[in-house]
Amino acid sequence: MPWEHRMILLCALAVCITSLVVGAEKRQEDDECADVNNTTWLQYQQHRGKLQVQYLLLTRTNVDCAHMFTQESLTGPQQRSYFNMSRSTKVIIHGYRAMGSKPSWVMELARALLRVQDVNVLVVDWVYGASFAYNLVVENYKEVAVQISVLINQLQKRGCKLESFHFIGVSLGAHVAGFVGTLFEGKIGRITGLDPAGPMFKGADTFDRLDPSDAQFVDAIHTDSDYFGISIPVGHVDFFLNGGKDQTGCARSRFASILVYFPVYGYVICDHMRALHVYMSALNGSCPLVGIPCFSYEDFLKGRCVNCDVFRGVCPTIGLSENSGIAVSPIPKEQKLFLLTSSTPPFCTHHILLKLEVSPLDKSAEVEVTLRTENQGTAQRLRLQTDTTVYRMVLAHPVALCEIHSIELKNTGSRFYRQGDVHVKSVCVSEFPSLRQEKPLCVNNINIRRGAPWSHDFVQVCGIF
């Protein structure tokens, strides 16, 4: 289904759902906790054309109670703002809000940032201009960027340095951040795009979308590049999770449940929002999410890219490390990075490279390879051709190489291809990128018979390292 039809469907759902919503919450007084707005279809029609951009401030002093933030917060007689000019500032920009509801994740992201760094966090609330009709919302995004730039300009005049600002834009919010960067001629410190919006932007000029010239460093995470996200690189480094399209744990047929399950909005955008959830998980630092540079996802899965030589051996990571951990200068632009993730937090997996060498075959065959660690198993089927004897593929396993207990090989194609025994000259598994420089685990000279699975225990082998 084309994205235009998907947007129409979302908007139709929005009208139905928001008609049940009682009016938006009234903005509380300045001395009370603030929140991002909601809006309804009726309010949208009444205030159409008015962006009503607002800003919420959170710091470690008021981490559980956001305050409204304006230029007057710094210049008024009481000067009650917690904003600290000497600290860096994270600016969070949400994207398209199909149903007019507030983005519930913004406060969670703000608090996650504050747990890691003592910074100012500004949340840009432009829900009124970001709701319902996507094509009209796209018409608004540059005006939102202009309004943000006015505030940044005032903060700059009061002592904030442009390089101290880090914009984090989700979906359409990434392009808003990109245009702010354009207005400041790329002098903003950093922009992070979390699955930057694709519809109406893939073919856009770099002036109109996020690109590496918008900040001193631009990184992006892609998780839905075949539907709501953009498919082209837009930063210095672009992390394509699981190829940037279908994410583990997200249903493949996105609209199949509409007939039987009405509240499908979260279901539809599961892939799209995975970038945000992975980014927030990465902030906790429980495990590294490392990207491997490669020309394509297909090449990555075939084991043709297993190092980070282009970055002098240091692989970029998702998170807040400076320049994603890249130390080379100048930083490469539009560098595609690939990594595999799991379906649940912290989303980390170990990249295991499998190398299989077989004797020449008379006819095509199929084998299934399974890596096991206690009750956890990772299986992958591999088609063997008559003109190839060496195969390489990448598997995602939940534990490291030396925690893999066994490897199993099964002759799975005999029923369909009438294949005979498969002679495996060698099968090796190794992990990449490897900090401990572990040697590959190899087994040689194996005959895989029909209906007789083969397995080998790796526990003793790992124990000698």
Model confidence over 281-297: pLDDT tens digits?
999 888 899 999 999 99
Are 108 and 35 in contact by the 8 Å Cβ rule? The answer is no
Do 171 and 205 sit in the same domain of this protein? Answer: yes
Q: Report how far residue 290's alpha carbon sits from residue 301's, in angstroms, rounded to the nearest whole number.
A: 15
Residue 442 in domain? yes
Is there a single domain that holds both residue 29 and residue 87?
A: yes
pLDDT in tens, 197-225: 999 999 999 999 999 999 999 999 999 99
In a domain, 147, yes or no: yes
Which tokens is 174 given?
């990434």
Asked which of 156-170, 198-212, 401-415 is least confident by mean pLDDT, the reply is 401-415
Stronger pLDDT, 268 or 396, i.e. the higher one: 396
More confidently predicted of 331 and 1: 331
Give the pLDDT confidence score for residue 4 in this predicted structure: 58
195 within a domain of the structure (yes/no): yes
Check whether residue 458 and residue 311 sit in a common domain. Answer: no
pLDDT tens digits along 299-312 = 999 999 999 999 99
Residue 13 has pLDDT above 90, yes or no: no
**Within 295-385, where are the H helices?**
297-301
Looking at 112-126, 138-152, 260-274, 334-348, which range is the least confident one? Answer: 260-274
State how far the Cα of 147 lies from the Cα of 130, in Å rounded to an integer: 14
pLDDT of the residue at 454 = 92
pLDDT reported for residue 67: 94
- Domain match, 313 and 420 both: no
**Which pLDDT value is given to residue 12?**
45
Flag whether pLDDT at 75 surpasses 80.
Answer: no
Q: How far apart are CA 384 and CA 235, in angstroms?
A: 38
Beta strand 190-194 pairing with 165-170:
parallel
Closest CA to 34 of 111, 99, 94, 123: 123
Please report, rounded to a whole number, the percentage of residues in the chain having pLDDT higher than 70: 83
What are the start-end ranges of the E strands in 311-389? Answer: 335-339, 350-358, 365-373, 376-384
Query: What is the reported pLDDT for 436?
Result: 65
Reduced to 3 states (helix: H, G, I; strand: E, B; else coil), residue 60 is coil
Residues 6+ apart with CB under 8 A from 292: 300, 305, 306, 307, 308, 315, 337, 338, 339, 351, 432, 433
What is the tens place of the pLDDT at every residue in 133-155? 899 899 999 999 999 999 999 99
Return the active site residues: 171, 195, 272
144 and 178 assigned to the same domain: yes
Q: Same domain for 320 and 354?
A: no
* Token pair belonging to 404: 């893999």
And the tokens for 370?
A: 């399974």
pLDDT reading at 344 higher than 80 = yes
In a domain, residue 345? The reply is: no
Indicate the Cα dihedral angle 408, 414, 415, 417, nearest 10°.
Answer: 130
In this predicted structure, what is the pLDDT of residue 429? Answer: 94
CATH code for the domain in which residue 386 is found: 2.60.60.20
Final residue in a domain of this structure, among 339, 364, 397: 339
Do 181 and 238 lie in a common domain? yes
Q: How confident is the model at residue 261 (pLDDT cuts 50, 70, 90)?
A: very low
Tell whether 309 and 356 lie within a shared domain: no
Q: pTM, whole model, 2 decimals?
A: 0.88
Evaluate whether 231 touches 202 at the Cβ level (below 8 Å): yes
Enter the tokens of residue 137.
């919302």
pLDDT at 22: 31
- Summary mean pLDDT of the chain: 86
pLDDT of 263 strictly over 60? no
Q: 85-127: per-residue pLDDT in tens?
A: 999 999 999 999 988 888 999 999 999 999 999 999 999 999 9
Q: Is residue 222 in some structural domain?
A: yes
Higher-pLDDT residue of 458 and 333 is 333
Residues 392 and 306 in one domain: no
The predicted-structure confidence for 35-45, as pLDDT tens digits, reads as follows 998 876 666 55
Helices (H) and strands (E) in the chain, counts: 11, 18
Classify residue 200 as left (phi > 0), alpha (psi -120 to 50) or beta: left
Place of tokens 């409204």: 68
The CA–CA distances, whole Å, from 191 to 101, 151, 331 equal: 25, 17, 15
CA nearest neighbour of 197 among 177, 217, 218: 177
Share of the chain above pLDDT 90, in %: 66
Q: Rounded to 5 degrees, what angle do the CA atoms 299, 304, 306 make?
A: 115
Residues 143 and 254 placed together within one structural domain of the fold: yes
Interacting residues of 4 by C-beta distance below 8 A, sequence separation 6+? 199
Tell whether 322 and 372 lie within a shared domain.
no
Burial of 19 (0-12, 13-18, 19+ CB in 10 A): exposed
- The distance from CA 4 to its chain's CA centroid, rounded to whole angstroms, is 23
Note down the domain range covering 139: 3-339
Q: What is the pLDDT of residue 10?
A: 52
The conformation of residue 258, written as its DSSP 8-state character, comes to T
Name the β-bridge partners of 263: none
Helix (H, G, I), strand (E, B) or coil at 147: helix
Q: 313: domain CATH number?
A: 3.40.50.1820
Last residue of a domain, one of 295, 311, 339: 339
Give the count of domains, the chain: 2
Q: What angle do CA 319, 323, 325 make, to 5 degrees?
A: 70
Between 412 and 260, the more confident residue is 412
> What is the C-alpha R_g of the chain?
25
Angle of CA points 95, 99, 100, to nearest 5°: 70
Q: Are residues 40 and 82 in the same domain?
A: yes
Give every CB contact of residue 221 below 8 A, 6+ residues apart in sequence.
Answer: 192, 193, 194, 195, 238, 239, 241, 275, 278, 279, 318
What confidence tier does 51 reach under pLDDT thresholds 50, 70, 90? confident
Alpha helices in 82-189 (DSSP H): 106-116, 134-157, 172-183
Could you give the CA distance from residue 279 to residue 293 in angstroms, rounded to a whole number?
A: 19
My answer on whether omega of the bond before 433 falls inside 30° of 0, hence cis, is yes
State which of 316, 339, 362 marks the end of a domain. 339
